[in-house]
């Protein structure tokens, strides 16, 4: 059973945890989470908490394919007021910062965040891993081939599962050497992968359990869901739930989602299913 030490608050992953996505970007790929005012942000945060989110993940920089980078200062201007707002109204909820800037991570933790979620696993800011070690918070370490600007161009793997596994072996060692105690691995669905690569990773997700780290699956309303179905991201809730269920079945400990209620139902039903199968209830 995995646990996370979130600045002194011990979080159990005996039952899969839900991470609710709060985007404060003007160009989110899913328009339901575009930049909003304070009242809208608070309503969204409350809705996610009531529906079962254990973490709220706040991001101020788009990482959709082809997106352009903004500076750490621009990102801070977007996320810090939101962190302060949510912390003021919901003191007990765990907050995560979705950033690849070490300076943003440091400032966010100072303001009450207790998890750092880095899509680049330290590749885009070499100071990130030592910074997270000094902050003493859990670190979501994601695999991405390239950068958001380039990741969906000329995507080639000899064996995507093996390459991502090898990447995590090296990154976990680097995090451990730096002094990070709680590392969460994220295969990076949609980040430098084709739809076929994403499904290969999903099918073989249990392989990553050999690393003895919690696995985060971020599939919510992505192209991997809606493109095979010839629908839009706005129509991809049912498909997302199907893939989230497969991720849970194959070993995911955390689901990063836009739609908490439906993900919670998938988690609850999977727990009943596992109990019935193993007579563990």
- Which residues are catalytically annotated? 222, 256
Q: Environment class of residue 238 by beta-carbon count within 10 Å: exposed (0-12), middle (13-18) or buried (19+)?
A: exposed
Asked if 161 and 200 touch (Cβ cutoff 8 Å), the reply is yes
């Amino acid at each position: 059973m995995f646990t996370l030490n979130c600045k002194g608050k011990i979080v159990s992953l005996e039952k899969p945890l839900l991470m609710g996505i709060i985007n404060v970007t003007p160009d989110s790929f899913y328009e339901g989470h575009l930049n909003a005012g304070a009242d809208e942000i608070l309503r969204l945060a409350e809705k996610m908490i009531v529906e079962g989110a254990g973490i709220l993940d706040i991001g101020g920089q788009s990482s959709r394919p082809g997106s352009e980078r903004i500076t750490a200062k621009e990102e801070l201007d977007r996320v810090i007021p939101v962190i302060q707002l949510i912390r003021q109204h919901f003191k007990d909820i765990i907050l995560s910062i979705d950033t690849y800037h070490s300076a943003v991570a440091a400032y966010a933790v100072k303001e009450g965040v207790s998890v750092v979620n880095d899509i680049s696993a330290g590749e885009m800011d070499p100071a990130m891993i030592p910074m997270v070690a000094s902050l003493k918070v859990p670190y979501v370490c994601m695999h991405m081939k390239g950068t958001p600007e380039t990741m969906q161009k000329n995507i080639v793997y000899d064996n995507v599962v093996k390459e991502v596994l090898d990447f995590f072996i090296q990154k976990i060692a680097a995090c451990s050497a730096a002094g990070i105690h709680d590392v969460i691995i994220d295969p990076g669905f949609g980040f430098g992968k084709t739809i076929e690569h994403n499904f290969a990773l999903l099918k073989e997700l249990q392989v990553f359990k050999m690393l003895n780290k919690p696995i985060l699956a971020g599939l919510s309303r992505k192209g991997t869901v809606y493109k095979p179905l010839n629908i839009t991201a706005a129509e991809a809730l049912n498909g997302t739930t199907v893939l989230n269920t497969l991720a849970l079945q194959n070993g995911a400990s955390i689901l990063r989602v836009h739609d908490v209620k439906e993900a919670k139902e998938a988690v609850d039903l999977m727990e009943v299913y596992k109990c019935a199968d193993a007579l563990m209830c």
